[in-house]
A and B are shown apart, each in its own frame.
Chain A
Amino acid sequence: MKRPLRYLSGAVLALLYAFLLMPLVVVALASFSGGEVLRFPPEGFSFKWYARFFANESFLSALMLSLRLALVSAVTVSVLATMAALFYRRLPYRWREPFRILVIMPLLLPEILTAIGLLFFLYRVGLGSSAFGLQIGHIVVTLPFAFLSVAAALQQIDSSLEEASASLGAGTFETFRRIVWPLIRPGIFTGALFAFIVSFDMFTMSFLLKPIGGNTLPLAVFDYLKYDFDPMAAAAATLSVGFALLVVLLVEKTVGLRRAF
């Protein structure tokens, strides 16, 4: 490429990446502000907004609910997704694609439609506005993320490995325990991380299905933002950014970002 052209494309790329990162950086910077209002550049540096965040009853209970939802979702979904991925691999060929599409349906369908359907259904079976209903909603939506991750890991395992194991005398369960499980463990772990983070940040589903008096952190931030516009919301939001960075780091260390996405 000619030199000016290369500088130009470099500049365009730099702008694009800046566009991607700007809102996250801005939120993080704002959360460490020492001033009383959100302004740029921030006045001074302090942790006071974090202190206020953790002193705030409603934020704190929302955080706890979000963490609980995310944790339960991650654990449940990784077990379900592992079973689903093993099942997928054993299905006769012509059933595989339909099954895969069914499992990742919640990812392909707009979250808001799934949430509306669940709202009606849960009301109908008498579980409307219950914590259980909300948890179910989170599990349904996070399932595809974990499934894709485990299925990708499983796909890396050549079926001749299982055959080799069988020919050496290992039964189905022993082959799973000694060969398949160690090889898909990183995939399951990644899947659980995705499920956790997606659940932690889920908004629309929680908005429609939230139990009476129970707020998740995103809902609490949303409510807060409607009336206040100060760095406390930024502190709450930065927690989410921090989680995301942690996940990125862990995924890169375990399976590699390029393989996971």
Chain B
Amino acid sequence: MAHLEIAGLRKSHGAVQVIAGVDLAVASGEFFTLLGPSGCGKTTTLRCIAGFIAPNDGDIRVDGASVLNAPPEKRGFGVVFQNYALFPHLTVAENVGYGLKTRRVPWEEARRRVGEALAMVQLFGLKDRLPRELSGGQQQRVALARAIVIRPRLLLLDEPLANLDAKLRHELRWLIRDVQRAQGTTAIYVTHDHAEAMALSDRIAVMRNGQIAQVGTPREIYQRPLERYVASFTGETNTLEARVVAEAGPGRYRVAVAGSELEATGPAGLTPGTVRHLLARPESLSLAPEGAAGVSVRLDAVVYVGAALRCEVVTACKQRVVLQVPVQRAYTPGETLSLAIDPAQAWLMAPGEAA
């Protein structure tokens, strides 16, 4: 249980800036996720925190004290590796007990704590097996138990579920969350799976090219992304070009989209005439017969996906929008419809590239 601050962190490999100035503050007991595409520097950031590599610049403070001068073995952080990194010549119990041995914890207590940790990750009766005699999911549980048994100040996890199949991934996701809650440990979790990040995290930092693009709760990141990059990285998005016409209240605007006018929310202080990108998540959209309020669109394609119909529509300005509608009504491609957007969920963000 500790809080973490990262200030001005920089790391280059040769000429390549892998981390280009990262600032973060993680509260005690928080489950904090670094989310971003492959190669954006998540692992590097985590390894700097763990002490496996030294940053070129910046500071990492835990409970207010810099840890940069401490070697990894003195930092007392639990690390869960993507490839598990279980010691192949040690049994499950010996692997889990390793960190207690290095701390010279008395044998009796160590045995008890290993048992507790294994129970916590729901592994029973396997303590004398070697890692190679375990399934992937079991190995991952051992890795987690090994990291938490030392009651780490920080729990660092680098894509711990990436090597598992979808079902196990779901199961272990909740296990990690439960264990972290039960211990009250501060956790830094690295992933490029946005669903995982949303489900697990108290807060998420979306990274881009070695920098933080946005930090916020899952809800903020999903509904109120500052830019298109963040939106496109956290789920399916439609972006429509929008021009602010007038302010309709605090943080609410009337905007012109593809020849129609509608209402949307946005950050405060947008002046009329500003061009922004309107974020419309598929679930905030609905289709109505031609003539109803909304943007006039032509239906381009309809696909039956089980729970819903997935429709692709095109606006008068040739912008393509994807949405899901209930299966009750039949649609024929080519017909003209009216696209309605829930004003509370329509969000104006800064223009920019998608991920």
Query: A residues touching B (Cβ–Cβ < 8 Å)?
Result: 158, 160-161, 163-171, 174-175, 178-179, 182-183
13 contacts between A and B (CB under 8 A): A163-B52, A164-B79, A164-B85, A165-B98, A166-B52, A166-B72, A167-B156, A168-B73, A168-B78, A168-B99, A169-B76, A169-B99, A183-B88
Residue B69 at the chain A interface, CB threshold 8 Å:
no
B98 lies within 8 A of A160 (CB):
no
Give the distance in Å from the alpha carbon of A165 to the alpha carbon of B97 in the complex.
Answer: 11
Known A-B contacts A160-B81, A163-B79, A164-B79; the reply to A169 vs B87 at CB < 8 A is no
Which one of A158, A178, A182 lies within 8 Å of B98 (CB-CB)? A178
The smallest beta-carbon distance between B41 and chain A, in angstroms, is 18
For the complex, is B77 an interface residue (Cβ under 8 Å from A)?
Answer: yes
Shortest B83–chain A CB gap in Å is: 6
Contact: B150 with A169, CB < 8 Å?
yes
A-B contact count (CB 8 A): 65
A-side contacts of B147, CB under 8 Å: 167
Q: Which residue of A lies closest to B150 (CB)?
A: A168
Which residue on B lies nearest to A170, using beta carbons?
A: B102
B71 close to chain A: CB less than 8 A: yes
A160 CB, min distance to chain B CBs, angstroms? 4
The answer for the CA separation of A174 and B98 in the assembled complex, in Å, is 11
A170 and B52 contacting across the interface, CB-CB below 8 Å: no
Q: Bound state CA distance, A170 and B76, in angstroms?
A: 10
Nearest 4 Cβ contacts at the A-B interface: A168-B99, A166-B72, A169-B102, A160-B85
Closest Cβ of chain A: how far from B97's Cβ, in Å?
Answer: 10
Contact at B89–A170, with CB atoms within 8 Å?
Answer: no
With contacts A163-B72, A168-B146, A171-B73 known, is A158 near B85, CB below 8 A? yes
Query: B188 contacts the other chain (Cβ, under 8 Å)?
Result: no
> With the chains together, A170 CA to B73 CA distance in Å?
5
B102 touches A168 (CB 8 A): yes
B19: CB under 8 A from chain A?
Answer: no
Contacting pair A166 B71 (CB below 8 A): yes
* A163-B81 contact in complex given A168-B150, A169-B150, A170-B102, C-beta closer than 8 Å: yes
Contacts A166-B52, A167-B50, A167-B77; A161 near B85 (Cβ below 8 A): yes
Q: Complex Cα distance A163/B102, Å? A: 14
